[in-house]
Amino acid sequence: MSLATGIVLTAASFLLGAQFTHWSVDHRTLWTKPVSQTTITNSLVYYSNLSLSITDTGQIKWVLRIVHLVALIGFIGLLTKLRKSSVTVVFDLASLVLFLTSLIVHIAHVIPLLSTIPTTAIAFDPTLPITFSTGTLAFKSTASIIRTIQSIASLNAIISVTLTGLIGLQLAQIGIERSLDRTDSEPDSISIPARATIVQGPKKTSADQSLLLRLQPRNPLDIRPASSLNP
């Protein structure tokens, strides 16, 4: 595993852990029907504090700056990996798309919705308008606030899924690269066929050849020349 891959995995894991902190209020907002007053109150308090931390100068703002710094480091790590051509570059391209998707969702959707979260207490009656101190509107109904909180929870779930996919792609890339390195390190084995062994029998001597000639059958009609007949 290269240094750039380790940086990307560390940054993505850190950001995914930061997203899981929202799950303490998001899971009830998304999966509880109907949404109770306690669920909305807890989500409103949580996201109100998170919205204030964007403009506040307290300790929470420094935590957010650390999160943004880690995201920047992870993005630089992905760009560094893309500069090195590899057979597994498709994994880095897909990881970059997922990482950019999570950043765009957070910057273009989550942060604007956080700015509309009221900082005052709300009544749970959906028909009752309320006044809040942040945002561009003067009045906002409770039903609209509930939809805003549910939208933020859904967007956080999308970001978590994209970061999980990014980590999965990087781990798959590591496995494939190790498999390729293992294949390249093995010596090429060439199968050499065994030589055929010719089994030779014992050599024939002159005595064996003369015995073989004596044992050969003769044709009884064989006519010999007169010179060969005995007197």
pLDDT 10s digits, 101-126: 999 999 999 988 888 877 655 554 55
Question: Which of 3, 27, 25, 7 has the alpha carbon at shortest distance from 15?
Answer: 7
Provide the domain limits for residue 171: 3-182
pLDDT of 167 above 90: yes
Total structural domains within the chain: 1
209 domain-assigned: no
Count other C-beta atoms under 10 Å from residue 2's C-beta: 14
> In the structure, what pLDDT confidence band is assigned to residue 99 with cuts at 50, 70 and 90?
very high
Q: What percent of the chain has pLDDT over 90?
A: 26
Mean of the per-residue pLDDT values of the chain: 76
196 domain-assigned: no
- Burial label for 195, CB within 10 Å (0-12, 13-18, 19+), is exposed
Q: Which residue has the higher pLDDT, 148 or 189?
A: 148
- Burial label for 35, CB within 10 Å (0-12, 13-18, 19+), is middle
64 domain-assigned: yes
How many angstroms from the chain centroid is the CA of residue 225? 101
220 domain-assigned: no
Tell me the per-residue pLDDT of 122-146, one tens digit each, with 9 for 90 and over.
Answer: 554 555 544 444 444 444 567 778 8
> In the structure, what pLDDT confidence band is assigned to residue 194 with cuts at 50, 70 and 90?
low
Between CA 173 and CA 115 the distance in angstroms is 39
Q: Are 192 and 129 in contact (CB under 8 A)?
A: no
**Across the chain, where does the E strand assignment appear?**
129-131, 139-141
Q: How far from 172 is each of 1, 82, 86, CA to CA, in Å?
A: 11, 16, 14
Token pair, residue 116, equals: 């509309």
225 domain-assigned: no
192 domain-assigned: no
pTM above 0.75, yes or no: no
pLDDT of 163 above 50: yes
pLDDT of residue 96: 93
Between CA 27 and CA 150 the distance in angstroms is 10
93 domain-assigned: yes
The most confident of 40-49, 55-64, 163-172, 184-193, by mean pLDDT:
163-172
> In the structure, what pLDDT confidence band is assigned to residue 200 with cuts at 50, 70 and 90?
low
Q: Are 115 and 134 in contact (CB under 8 A)?
A: yes
198 domain-assigned: no
pLDDT of residue 168: 94
pLDDT of residue 52: 72
